[in-house]
Amino acid sequence: MKLVSTLALAAIMTIGAATSAAAEAHMDDSGVPGPDEDPYIYLEEARSDEALEWVEAENERTLAVLEADPRFETLKAEALAIYDSEDRIPFVSFRPDGLYNFWQDKENPKGVLRRTTLESYQTEEPEWETILDIDALAAAEGKEWVYKGSTCLPPALNKCMIALSDGGEDATIMREFDTATKSFVEDGFVLDQKSQGGIQWIDEDTLLVGRNFSDELQTESEYPYTSRIWKRGTSIEDAQEIFRGEKSDVWAGASLLRDANSVIHARTAFRGVSFHETLYYVEKDGEWLPLDIPKKASPYGIVDGQLLYSTDVEWEVDGQTFPADSLIAVDLEEWKADPNGAAKTLVWAPAERQTKRGGAITANSLYVTMLDNVVGKILKFDFEDGDWVSSEVELPDNATLGIAASSNETDQVMYTVTGFLEPTTLYYTDGSAAPQVVKTSPAYFAPDGMEVEQHEATSADGTKIPYFIVKPEGMAMDGDTAVLMTGYGGFQIPRLPAYLGSTGKLWMERGGAYVLANLRGGGEFGPGWHQTAIRENKQRTWDDFIAVGQDLVDRGFTSPEHLGIQGGSQGGLLVGTAFTQRPDLFGAAIVQIPLFDMLRYHLIGRGASWIGEYGDPRIPEQRAWIEAYSPYQMIEEGEDYPTPFLWASTADDRTHPAHARKGAARLKEQGHDYYYFEDTVGGHSGGVDNEQRAKIQALQYVYLMQQLMDD
């Protein structure tokens, strides 16, 4: 979504990591375990010989069992057919010279950046022109390049900085590319040291750069906290620094406040003082003026000469109180003259159990995606005759809705509509009429005989926790159905109904049921739903998940021996807490790219950036919250845990493979059965090509069938 705000640079700073953790010699006064207390700290070195030897042995042991299962090859082939499907929707972005798409298939496993025309795109078989072939580039340079996107100079959007990652890390290098000539620019801008952060174009010869310029100029979380103006033909080392945050920040940097016409109205800056709290500034008369807004509020974009703010907390200002999760507007010219004194007007505020998710700005309007009791809707906003006017976009009811693409230059928008059993449909409008279907994803599984229900579980503190179950129609409520339950519950990220695709094919067609839990800590019901389950209250998320599992058993949907759980990243931590706190409730647990050792998480990968979510284990009071649930420390000898399947990626510089590795090592030490697999090329998002993604999918579903379905 092209929101024109000071969040732009922060958004480029994907919540990711760069290096392995450094071990501390001993447990110090902070109570953080060192090598004397933790014999597996060596596994925190992502690519040390000792660690990789351990990984190789674990992979061999796991694959010898799971790949030998007669179902493995069939499951892998089914998954690969979905990932390589030529008739899946090619999602695009709008640019003045066409519609751009990044495409991966069996012929192009690393992918190609390509473009077509709107007219051609609306046909059954669009004609595509290749702009950049990542497979050819990787082969020519001997690298495992993964395409990580591009940042282009508006309004033409033909001069771009292409981001590339070697092996799938979040850290990237960047090179200038010309889409008109379809080539990298000779002697163009190049940032060849891999780093977090990104750039914005000021003009054709000037970049605003926020990168890790040196080890000294990165935060504890290994993000940039300085920004420079870089002129063409000069060295980045000589570029002028224009903003500097603090080393104690999570991240910091400068940005550009640009409207849909590509006009830069101000230089802005931000300091992420925690993951969820940010200080904003605007350059005024040569100085950085702090914006007098809440730390959980942010600029949202420019529409019709109005600058918008979004706030996650109540905002009291000028005798008014704006509700949490609302949108607020100020006149742009008034704001430029007096950034803190401009009069503020309410644009939108949520009703009960409503929340906004995101949005997009076109040439003339603002579009905002919303959830209304976890059901999607999209509102269009315009500023007309001094008032804000909103209307609902005409899209199907009772579905998950999203904005797939929007144009700054026109009012063109594409929307997605999806559900658990409904393949994704892509709608298009040029702004003059209601959206019409332009593409439909093929059905990858047979939904006949399946149904969706929504129920509520009661958590430990009495809060009602909604969840969806997708199951066979008329399913016997005798506890014999194998159920796969998933959730997330963190960082204000909602988990929503979406087409099940490979899960439907590999799991549900074989008689399994699927459950999605909407846990506190997530974003399904707005900022309050998130903020009530962070830091000292994070146990509420784990309680919610356990409560849903217990409710499934109590209602007769399943029984503990047939109930499996799955989650990745924060969701991996969720699964780890669930099977260590209630080992009697679950028969299988897939722990994907997880957080797991929460007493050292701030030293591993990008863990320090998430202290705002979990707390700081170096502070005794906060360590007490964390230690009470940290799965790594909770594993004990003699407990009857389900046999978990932990997997990670060597190139994951975000959560880091150390967590899953150490969890497996601890389980082995304490005498428990487990499986461990490590993808040695993919990053935090998994395999870098479809073949590897299909393999990992097949491994997981073989494991689930062995644990939950087999006698």
Catalytically active residues are 569, 684
Longest dimension (CA), the chain: 74
DSSP codes joined into one string, 656-689: -THHHHHHHHHHHHTT---EEEEESS-BTTB-SS
Q: Which residue has the tokens 């989650």?
A: 567
Cβ pair 206, 240 in contact under 8 A? no
DSSP codes joined into one string, 17-47: --SPPPPPSS--TT----TTT-TTGGGGSTT
Nearest 10 degrees: Cα torsion 533, 686, 371, 534: 10
CA 369 to chain centre: 17
179: amino acid identity, one letter: T
Cα distances (Å, whole numbers) of residue 237 to 190, 225, 442, 697: 12, 15, 50, 44
Total Cβ atoms within 10 A of residue 464 = 11
Q: Which residue has the tokens 């066409």?
A: 98
644: amino acid identity, one letter: P
- The angle subtended at Cα 313 by Cα 309 and Cα 316, nearest 5°, is 75
182: amino acid identity, one letter: K
For β-strands 375-384 and 387-392, DSSP reports them as: antiparallel
Cα distances (Å, whole numbers) of residue 8 to 207, 252, 256, 502: 14, 12, 8, 33
Total Cβ atoms within 10 A of residue 284 = 15
Cβ pair 444, 423 in contact under 8 A? yes
Cβ pair 322, 346 in contact under 8 A? yes
DSSP symbol at 245: -
Alpha-carbon distance of 155 to 435, in angstroms, equals 25
Cβ pair 81, 690 in contact under 8 A? no
How many residues are listed for the chain in this entry?
711
Cβ pair 622, 615 in contact under 8 A? yes
Task: Classify burial at 354, counting beta carbons within 10 Å of its beta carbon; exposed 0-12, middle 13-18, buried 19 or more.
Answer: middle
DSSP codes joined into one string, 334-381: HHHH-TTTS--EEEE---TTEEEEEEEE-SS-EEEEEEETTEEEEEEE
3-state class (DSSP) for residue 238: helix
Cβ pair 709, 513 in contact under 8 A? no
Cβ pair 281, 288 in contact under 8 A? yes
Cβ pair 680, 63 in contact under 8 A? no
DSSP symbol at 11: H
CA 168 to chain centre: 15
